[in-house]
Amino acid sequence: MSNAELHDLLEVCKALANPTRLQIMGWLRDPSDHFAPQADPMEEVGVCVKQIQEKAGISQSTASQFMSVLQRAGLVESTRIGQWTYYRRNQERIAALPGLLSASL
Amino acid sequence: MSNAELHDLLEVCKALANPTRLQIMGWLRDPSDHFAPQADPMEEVGVCVKQIQEKAGISQSTASQFMSVLQRAGLVESTRIGQWTYYRRNQERIAALPGLLSASL
DNA sequence: TTGAGGCATCGGAACATTCCGATATAGCGA
DNA sequence: TCGCTATATCGGAATGTTCCGATGCCTCAA
C-alpha cells in the first residue's frame, strides 16, 4: 500500500468516475465492433477522436478532454498520425489494475 | 459488459475517487494496525465512526457521510451495536471487483 | 498558398462534490 | 429522568467537475 500506488489508483478511479469515460473504455476493447472503419487500422493504432465524439454524442472539445483524462490516468495511450490522434487501451496498465486494487485498496 | 455491472462499477469508482475514502478502505483492511481498541472486537464487527473520524482528521458529519457513500457503493457493511455503528469491509464484494473490471472495463 | 478537416486548449456557465457546523435521534449510565 | 456520547441528517459555502462554443495550431489536398 505504497503512497505512489495509492495515488495512481485514485487517479484511475477519478478518470473512471464518469459514465461516458467508462463507456469509452469499454468501446475501445473491441474497436471494430463499435466504430466505423477509418484511415488507419484501429486494432493497431486505436480510434480517432472524431469517432469517439460521434459515438458518445459529445462535443469535440469534450471528447478531446476526456481522452486526455484517461491518458493522464494511464488507461489509454495515443499515436498521432497525420491529422489524426488515435487512442487505444493501455492494456498492460489495465491488466495491472487488479493487482493495484489488491495492493492498495 | 451488462448495464447493471457498468453502473455498479461506476458507483464504486465514484466512491473511491476521493483520497480520504480510499485511505479509509485501506485502514479497514487491518483495523487493529490502524485503530485503537474499542468496546467491541473490530476484527469481527468493524470500526466505529468516531475512530475513523479521528484517524482521518475530518469532522463527525463528514465521516458519517463518507461511510454512507462507501456503503451505498457496496464496499463496506455496517452493524449497529448500542450507540456505535461499526463499519467493516464487504470482502466478498471487494474480491469480486477484479472480475467486475474485466467484465465491464 | 489557400482552404478544409481534425485536434487541443481556453474561458466560462451549470452542476456536483466536499466538508463543515448546527440540529435531531437514540443508547447508556448515574 | 437527565445528561453524555455516538451517530445521522440538514443546510450551505467553498471547491471541483462537466461540458460547451470559440479560437488557434497543424496536416493534407487542391
What's the mean pLDDT in B30-35?
97
CB contact under 8 A, A97 and B94: no
B41-87: per-residue pLDDT in tens? 999 999 999 999 999 999 999 999 999 999 999 999 999 999 999 99
Q: Which three cell numbers stand for residue B105?
A: 472495463
**Which residues on chain B are in Cβ contact (under 8 Å) with A13?**
13-14, 16-17, 22
Average pLDDT of span A47-57 = 98
The pTM (predicted TM-score) of the whole model is 0.94
Q: How confident is the model at residue A31 (pLDDT cuts 50, 70, 90)?
A: very high
- When CB atoms are compared, the residue of A16, A22, A101 closest to B98 is A101
Considering its fold, how many domains does chain A have in total?
A: 1
SS (H, E, C) chain B: CCHHHHHHHHHHHHHHCCHHHHHHHHHCCCHHHHCCCCCCCHHHHCEEHHHHHHHHCCCHHHHHHHHHHHHHCCCEEEEEECCEEEEEECHHHHHCHHHHHHHHC
Task: Kindly state the DSSP code that residue A93 receives in the 8-state scheme.
Answer: H
Confidence of residue A1 (pLDDT cuts 50, 70, 90): low
Residue range(s) defining the domain that contains residue B92: 3-103
Query: What CATH number does the domain containing B16 carry?
Result: 1.10.10.10
